[in-house]
Amino acid sequence: MFNIKPLATLSKIDIEHTINNKTKPVGSLGKLEELAMQLALILGANNPQLTKPTQLVFAGDHGVSELGVSIAGAEVTGLMVANFCHGGAAINVFCTQNDMALQVIDCGTVAEQPNHDMLIKQRLGSMTKPFNTQSALTLEQTNQGLEQGAKIAQEIMNNGSNIIGIGEMGIGNTTSAAAIMHVLTGHEIDLCVGQGTGVDEITVQRKKEIIKQATLLHKDNFSENSLNQDKQPEDNQPNAKTVLTLLGGFEIAQMVGAMLAIAQAQKVIIVDGFISSAAALIACKMAPHARDYMIFSHCSKELGHQLMLKELNASAVLDLNLRLGEGSGCPLVLPLLKSALAFYNNMASFEQANITVEQP
């Protein structure tokens, strides 16, 4: 379905030379130098630019939300979608501040919203099934979600964007993301489940129990080819697309599709927090080279996120104790990405400044 090429590294030596010969000590711009390297590899070594940065927020409701895993009910997903459309959420404020376009995708919410210029309707249903009693999605819904997520990302790229942030909104989706993390990484449930929207310890224990129930229910199916994956995983490892179908969400499926389409087009993906990283984990299990095109905006306060980043061999740019979702980390990191390219493109070299130093 997706043909993702590894990031070409032929120009890496030239890019590194450009970075190291700016008028500064080698490595003195720290993380900005790493970002400049990755962006130049993706966008081209000669004057790389970010064009039409766009934030996508995928919204979907989860069946487990009816089991008391959040401080809010499923109706809040739809209310927040309406809030996005009216410009009242944190993601609106941050996108406006940092000149980042915003699109909201209704992937399947209980409360369907009226048409709005900011809203794209790609509904797979009104709510997933509770994954502790049955499969959250059908295979048809998963395939459709991957296709629809890829479609909207492709449309954004066709409009000139080469950098897209991936965020989400969905009551109950931290439970889904924790379940995905547990199955795909093998980490204990206690290390994967956090407070999400800020729930109490009783609710955290409820989330853990729901994931335990789901693991027992689906344990014989996680690694099977019964869901018609392209390839049977080796060594009885979980099949990422199967795990997405059994434990995922409408919004997570479309996020995965969007990420894979962006990576296939060799553009920049900005990953938000815990749920976005769960989608990234699935995408990278399905197509490992997708990781080359991902920048992880921040390390969430959600318990499992740091471990998930380690699984993805990722180092987040920011650590602000965020746990909001909405894609909020993506516009916040955008100015730093612009700064990385600004120094790469515009900062004088030692030769241009007529400065002679001995480099280590």
pLDDT in tens, 311-357: 999 999 999 999 999 999 999 999 999 999 999 999 999 999 999 87
Name, in order, each residue with C-beta under 8 angstroms of 295's C-beta and a sequence gap of 6 or more. Answer: 35, 38, 268, 269, 270, 271, 317, 333, 337
pTM to 2 decimals?
0.95
pLDDT in tens, 181-225: 999 999 999 999 988 778 889 989 999 999 999 999 999 999 876
Instruction: Report which of 37, 47, 34 is spatially closest to residue 11, judged by C-alpha positions.
Output: 37
pLDDT at 226: 47
pLDDT at 196: 76
The answer to whether residue 267 scores a pLDDT higher than 80 is: yes
Give dist(CA 240, CA 237) in Å, integer: 9
CA angle 319, 337, 286 (to 5 degrees): 75
Percentage of the chain exceeding pLDDT 90? 88
Cα end-to-end span (Å), the chain: 47
CATH topology assigned to domain 54-344: Rossmann fold (3.40.50)
Mean pLDDT of all residues belonging to the chain:
94
The answer to whether residue 121 scores a pLDDT higher than 50 is: yes
The answer to whether residue 256 scores a pLDDT higher than 90 is: yes
pLDDT in tens, 122-165: 999 999 999 999 999 999 999 999 999 999 999 999 999 999 99
* Residue with token string 């609710």: 203
- Give the number of other CB atoms < 10 A from CB of residue 321: 9
| Confidence grade of residue 359 (pLDDT, cut at 50, 70, 90) | low
For 251-283, give one letter per residue: b (16+ CB within 10 A) or e: bbbbbbbbbbbbbbbbbbbbbbbbbbbbbbbbb
* Burial bucket for residue 339 (CB in 10 Å: 0-12, 13-18, 19+): middle
Decide if 207 contacts 162 (C-beta within 8 A). no
Give dist(CA 161, CA 54) in Å, integer: 7
Decide if 293 contacts 7 (C-beta within 8 A). yes
| Confidence grade of residue 50 (pLDDT, cut at 50, 70, 90) | very high
Residue 326 a catalytic site member: yes
Cα maximum dimension of the chain: 70
Q: Which of 112, 224, 326, 351 is catalytic?
A: 326
Domains of the chain, by residue range, sit at 54-344
The answer to whether residue 227 scores a pLDDT higher than 80 is: no
| Confidence grade of residue 234 (pLDDT, cut at 50, 70, 90) | low
